[in-house]
Amino acid sequence: MIKKIDHIGIAVKDLAATLAFYEGMLGLKSVETEVVEDQKVKVAFLPTGDSEVELLESTSPDGAIAKFIEKNGEGIQHIAFRVENLEQRLAELKEKGVRLIDQKPRRGAGGANIAFLHPKSTFGVLIELCERD
């Protein structure tokens, strides 16, 4: 079912300052920055071998990332696993009793189809499943 870790999402208050650290101090390079309007987030992707670090800055005080930071502070917000047949995987998980945040795939950053599993069903970890063309 899981092909690999696609990316790790990190919630940040200031994307530009965070990018300066990851690029200047750690030597990673951002390959893409985009705003996902319906998720109220601005993201930057930093490839790390076979996966990526995804930095997420909220574009609105009522966005999910802003709420996460308010509650937990900056840090790892989710882990994303690459899958094939995302819609089928969601149906299988739902049948097994896993609580889904997204009942159907939706478009996410980087052109991926994504869906989130609820942390109450995943031992406190927000899990994203993603499928890329």
pLDDT tens string for the chain (133 positions)?
899 999 999 999 999 999 999 999 999 999 989 999 999 999 999 999 999 999 999 999 999 999 999 999 999 999 999 999 999 999 999 999 999 999 999 999 988 999 999 999 999 999 999 999 8
The model's pTM is 0.93
Q: How far is C-alpha 130 from the geometric centre of its chain's CA atoms?
A: 9
- Distance between CA atoms of residues 11 and 32, nearest Å: 17
Phi and psi, residue 122, nearest 5°: -125, 30
Chosen CATH of 4-131 out of 3.40.1450.10, 3.30.70.1350, 3.30.1490.20, 3.10.180.10 = 3.10.180.10
Of 120, 49, 47, 108, the closest CA to residue 129 belongs to 108
For residue 54, the tally of other CB atoms under 10 A from its CB is 23
